């Protein structure tokens, strides 16, 4: 759960650690080389945390280390698993203490390009800032290290950390600022540009996509389906900024997932379990708005939507075909298609059986097998002697 109190805590800790970044550097770092297709813009990186291979490697060890949670039971990778494009096959995430969250874990795919982080917060724009929430949050607890910082740092004196911290920061004594900077660097390094679609679009391999996938691609980008308005651009999400795009778009949308008719919740007509962006802005116009995630590797990241309420890609296609969801009974009974705040681009459409199969085939073409097997992204701990 992300609420304003936690956000304020994250800002306060960011200031304390000195990792709030106001200015972005667009100049390439001479030490770090991004692995990008030709002419692909570089991500924007905080000037306070330039990319280096040493920081990325340290961050990889930290990302997979269960010792980074207070009880030693969970790591970042527990909820962000490489084989699932750094998401997890669970509708709602569970923290290190077993506490269930309200939302599922977003896939960490090309996060370096994101202009906002988490499902529904327009104020979290830097990975360094967002990381403080899973690390320190007490409601809900994720890693749960608030008040346990000294104990966690003591664990980071074991091998191979002294050498990794020295290579990354010039000193062996770990501190929380360096932990956050290294984790952020590793997350930024998780780039995925080796799908069949990438071969077709950026390597001029006309045979990379089948005729059915090409038909699905044309439908996806058509005005008839309107998918591209929220999932456009090279990263298949509106939530993208980079070195060639200084303008940040507001990538939050109500898709008609819920519309509970009740006078007990505020704003009216909203399911009480999760108000989305409206919980942050307190603006009724933001009812039910959530960030449109990237569709890269989308076939690997089921279940879907912020609460995992759609189990398969087929269900997602049916949902958008219907222009939203009508829930006939239960706690959240209501016709999401009638929500007054629903995006104009979720109007519904008709698909033949073959067209539906084509769209589904195209979405599968966005899977990058190298991304989920890349040893540079994998768990380094089993490789230690």
DSSP string, 83-149: GGTTB-S-SS-B-TTSPBPSSPPPP-SSGGGBSS-SSS-SS---HHHHHHHHHH-BTTBSS--TT-H
Do 336 and 294 reside in the same domain of the chain? yes
Q: What is the CATH number of the domain that holds 174?
A: 1.10.760.10
Mean pLDDT of 40-54: 94
Looking at the fold, whether 181 and 215 belong to one and the same domain comes out as no
Tokens at 200, concatenated: 């077709």
User: What confidence score (pLDDT) does residue 273 get?
Assistant: 67
How many Å apart are CA 152 and CA 146, to the nearest integer? 10
Q: Is the peptide bond before 160 cis (omega within 30 degrees of 0)?
A: yes
Query: Which pLDDT score is estimated for 244?
Result: 60
Considering 38-52, 204-218, 319-333, the range whose residues carry the highest mean pLDDT is 204-218
For the chain, give the mean pLDDT: 88
Pair (45, 182) in one structural domain: yes
Domain count, the chain: 2
Q: Are 374 and 357 found together in one domain?
A: no
- The three-class DSSP label of residue 334 is strand
Structural domain of residue 360, as residue ranges?
Answer: 196-364
Q: Please tell me the predicted confidence (pLDDT) of residue 363.
A: 98
Residues 186 and 218 in one domain: no
Contact between residue 367 and residue 225 where contact means Cβ atoms under 8 Å apart: no
222 and 275, same structural domain? Answer: yes
Least confident of 123-127, 192-196, 219-223: 123-127
Do the Cβ atoms of 185 and 56 come closer than 8 Å?
Answer: yes
Residue whose C-alpha is closest to residue 314's, from 322, 93, 306:
322
The pLDDT confidence band at residue 28, using thresholds 50, 70 and 90, is very low
C-alpha radius of gyration, the chain, whole number: 21
Please tell me which of 16-25, 133-142, 176-185 the model is most confident about, judged by mean pLDDT: 176-185
Co-location of 9 and 23 in the same domain: yes
Contact 306, 290 (CB under 8 A): yes
Query: Under a CB-based contact definition with an 8 Å cutoff, are residues 202 and 350 in contact?
Result: no
Q: Are residues 20 and 166 in the same domain?
A: yes
* pLDDT at site 267: 47
Same domain, 38 and 81: yes
* Spatial separation of the C-alpha atoms in residues 151 and 158, rounded to whole Å: 12
Do 183 and 216 lie in one domain? The reply is: no
Residue of 102, 64, 103 lying closest to 86 (CA atoms): 64
CA dihedral sign, ordered 269, 272, 273, 277: positive
58 and 122 assigned to the same domain? yes
Same domain, 274 and 376: no
Give residue 261's pLDDT band: very low, low, confident or very high (50, 70, 90).
low
């Amino acid at each position: 759960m992300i609420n304003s109190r936690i956000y304020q805590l994250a800002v306060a800790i960011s200031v304390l650690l000195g990792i709030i970044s106001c200015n972005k550097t667009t100049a390439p770092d001479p030490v770090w080389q991004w692995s990008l297709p030709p002419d692909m813009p570089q991500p924007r990186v905080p000037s306070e945390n330039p990319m280096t291979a040493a920081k990325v490697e340290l961050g990889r060890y930290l990302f997979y280390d269960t010792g980074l949670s207070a009880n030693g039971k969970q790591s970042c990778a527990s909820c962000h698993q490489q084989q699932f494009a750094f998401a997890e096959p669970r509708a709602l995430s569970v923290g290190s203490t077993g506490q269930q969250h309200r939302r599922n874990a977003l896939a960490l795919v090309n996060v370096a390009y994101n202009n906002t982080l988490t499902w529904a917060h327009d104020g979290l724009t830097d990975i360094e800032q967002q990381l403080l929430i899973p690390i320190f949050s007490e409601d809900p607890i994720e890693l749960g290290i608030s008040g346990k910082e000294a104990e966690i740092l003591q664990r980071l004196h074991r091998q191979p950390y002294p050498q990794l911290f020295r290579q990354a920061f010039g000193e062996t004594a770990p501190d929380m600022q360096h932990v956050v900077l290294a984790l952020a660097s590793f997350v930024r390094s998780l780039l995925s540009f080796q799908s069949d679609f990438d071969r077709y679009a950026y390597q001029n391999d006309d045979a990379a996509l089948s005729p059915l996938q090409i038909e699905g691609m044309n439908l996806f980008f058509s005005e008839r389906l309107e998918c591209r308005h929220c999932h456009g651009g090279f990263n298949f999400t509106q939530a993208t900024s980079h070195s060639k795009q200084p303008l940040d778009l507001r990538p939050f949308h109500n898709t008609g997932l819920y519309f509970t008719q009740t006078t007990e919740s505020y704003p009216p007509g909203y399911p009480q379990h999760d108000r989305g962006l409206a919980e942050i802005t307190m603006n009724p116009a933001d009812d039910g708005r959530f960030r449109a995630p990237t569709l890269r590797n989308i076939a690997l990241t089921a279940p879907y939507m912020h609460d995992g309420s759609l189990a398969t890609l087929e269900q997602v296609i049916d949902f958008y075909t219907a222009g939203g969801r009508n829930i006939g009974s239960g706690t959240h009974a209501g016709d999401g298609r009638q929500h007054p705040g629903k995006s104009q681009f979720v109007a519904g459409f008709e698909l033949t059986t073959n067209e539906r199969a084509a769209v589904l085939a195209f979405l599968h073409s966005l899977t990058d097998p190298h991304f989920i097997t890349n040893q540079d992204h994998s768990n380094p701990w089993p490789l230690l002697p």
